Each structure stands twice: as C-alpha cells, then as structure tokens.
Amino acid sequence: MLLELAWKNMWRNPTRSLVIIAATTVGLTGGVVAAALMYGMADQMITSAIETRLSHLQIHHPDFLVEHTVDLVIPQADSIVTYADNMPEVIGVSPRVVVRGMASSAKTAGGINLLGVEPSRESTASSVPSSIVKGGFLGTRRRDHVRDPIVIGTELAEKLELQTGSKLVVTFQDAGGQITGAAFTITGLYETVSSRFDETHAYVRAATVRRLLGLSGGYHEIALRLSDASDVKLVEEKLQSRFRGIVADSWKDMAPDLRYMSEMMNSMLFIFLAVILAALAFGIVNTMLMAVLERTRELGMLLAVGMHRRLVFMMILLETLALSITGGILGMVCSGALVALLDNIGIDLSLFSKGLRVFGISEVIYPSVPVELYPMLMALVVVTALLSAIYPSIKALRLRPAAALRTAA
C-alpha cells in the first residue's frame, strides 16, 4: 500500500517530477556516453599496441629487455616456434631479431627500433604488413626484390624526407661491440593508427640484420598472437613450464601504462558517475523537500489520526526511490540505445586525427561500455536516492501534528 501511495504522490505535481526524471535521464545518458567514449579510446590504444608491436605475448631471453644486448638470443628459438605453431590458442607466431639503431638520410637522422622479421610470419602476429600504403612488405611483390629491402613508417619517411626507392643508412652495434651498418633500399611505407610507432620502427629481413650483427642464428623476440586474449596466462604457463632459460611476458607486462589505464577505467568511471549523481541529488532533495512542505497539513493529519512516524518516513523514502529509479531506468535505456548506435556507426573525429594518432587512436572512435557497468549504475542510483531521502524524511518526522494542522490551515 505504501508503495502505491508513494507512486501516486510522485505524480501529484507531474511537472516537477518530470523535470527531475528528465534531469536524471539526461545526466546518466551523458555520463554513460562520455564513459563509453573513454572506454572506446582506451580499447583502441590497447588494440593498436597489440596489433603493431606487442602482440598478446612475447618471449625473450631473461635479460634481454633489461640489457638489450644483441648476443642475448632466445635459447631453442626454433623449437619454441614449432611448439607455439601447434598450440590451439595461438593463431600467429613471429620470431624477430631486434636491435636499436640510428637511421639517417642526407637531410637528418633519428633513432629507430630495427626489427628483423620473417615476412610470411610477421603478417600473422602484426598488422603492419597489412598497413602498407605504398610499395610492398620486404619483397612480397616481385618487382620489389632488392638486396637489402627495408620498410619504414610514413612518419619516419616524412621526417627523413625519403620515399620508396630511396636509400636509408642504418647504423647499430654488432655482437662484438663494434659500430656497423648498411644502406637499405626502401621498398615499402606503412601507416598505422600510431604516429609514434610509425616514426620509430623499421622492418628488414631477419637474415639480413643477423648477418650484419655477426650472429650465426637465433632470435631476440618471438611474438605470439592469440585467438582469445583471456588465454594469455594459460599460454604463458605452458611455455614457461616447457622451456627453460626464457621469459614469457604478456602485453600488460611490457606496457604497464596500458595495463594501469585498463585497470583504472572502472574506478574512474565510478567516480565520474558518482559526481554526476551527486549533482542530481541536490535536485532530488529540493524536489522532495518542496513536496514535504506542500503537504505539511496532510502529513500532520496522518500523524494526528495515528499513523506511525516510521510509516511516514517509509512513504517519503519510497517516493524518493520511485522518482530516482524511474529516471535511472530511463537513463540506462537511453544510454544503452545511444551507445549501441554509436558503436555501430562510430564517431568521426577526423578534425583531431593528427593528435589522436600520437596516442595510437584512429580518427573514428567506437564507444563501448562493459556489461557490468549497468548494475553498478543502478546501485549508484539507489544509493543516491536513499541519501537524498534522508533530509526530507527527517523534516517530515519532526512535524508536530497540531502545529502542522494550524500552519497549513
């Protein structure tokens, strides 16, 4: 009976109630869509890092990521590649020779990460071969066959003022500690969503860079791409138990900044929505306080005829809950529909594409939110309603029946 009475009381002043419901709906919709945009951008940054350089999992010599010396090759690299090829969770395996060097042209120079890869395998673990915008990837086209081909990003090509067919000199330290290098012919330019990656990474054949380093064989890095990212821990444990003298790192281990961003998103979202609901709470308190003051005589009469103050408290509480939950449900429905629409068509931010590419974000953002957001949002709405009901309810409880009847008369 109290619930029915609270619902009827809520609509005694429909304009005021609709304003609060609309404010709650708009506030929640705006908050969820903004959160979905942040989630979408974070997902793109992580996806970009995984698809270009990190993959889901990488295998190294235990000391390689610390010292970065070229003699720290992976023991039993060929056996690991064969084993990984046969793992059901793995869909791509790319062994790499990795060296830091200096790329220079007649105009200028810049530091790069030189990756020696097997062209046919790199396409299974990285999106770079499919991101070629000019030329081909390390001789995959017959007319690009040259002695020492190299593929660089469009950002690096622009910085060094080079194009396909130009010569690029790369110098680095070999296994003996001597400075060595070679002149490579640019056979392809690639462009990913990350301009920083494009400016600092170049690709050559593994055999070429191994020869220049003075290595008889081996690889510094083996990148694995999985069919399901949730299998990373399982694959890591299988590799660590099967092979000794290696370390398997997930993308979260190699890019802790992205891991922290991913882990903090839910906390940031909670705080963001809590601030919005806190602002809405003032409107709810004001509305319910006005409702109590307008019904002073009515509440006094109920108390005078023997209605328990606890029931008066419950009635105000239920009325506040009905008002807030109605707005909350409408807000979740509207935000869910809008996020689903934007996730399908995307948000075009091409005006800011240059700035977004610095962070590895494409010009089209596809907002998305985790399913667990909505139960959390509903819980926040209920908590907000309960807190908002306290002051108006206390105001009603303090009424003295005789004084309330005289005041409203």
- Listed by start position, the domains of the chain span 2-49+259-408, 62-245
pLDDT at 210: 93
CA distance 328 to 315: 20
The reported pLDDT for the residue numbered 373 is 81
Specify whether the backbone of 4 is left (phi greater than 0), alpha (psi in -120 to 50) or beta: alpha
- Amino acid identity of 301? M
**pLDDT score at 408:** 46
Q: What is the pLDDT of residue 1?
A: 65
pLDDT on residue 316: 80
- Residue 259 has a pLDDT of 84
For 168, other C-beta atoms within 10 Å of its C-beta total 21
Mean pLDDT by 10 residues, the chain (409 residues): 73 82 88 89 90 93 91 94 96 96 91 94 94 87 74 95 94 90 94 94 95 91 95 94 93 88 79 82 82 70 71 80 87 92 90 86 88 83 84 75 59
The confidence score (pLDDT) of residue 238 equals 94
Indicate the burial class of 235 (C-beta count within 10 angstroms; 0-12, 13-18, 19 or more). buried
pLDDT at residue number 51: 92
What is the model's pLDDT at position 358?
A: 85
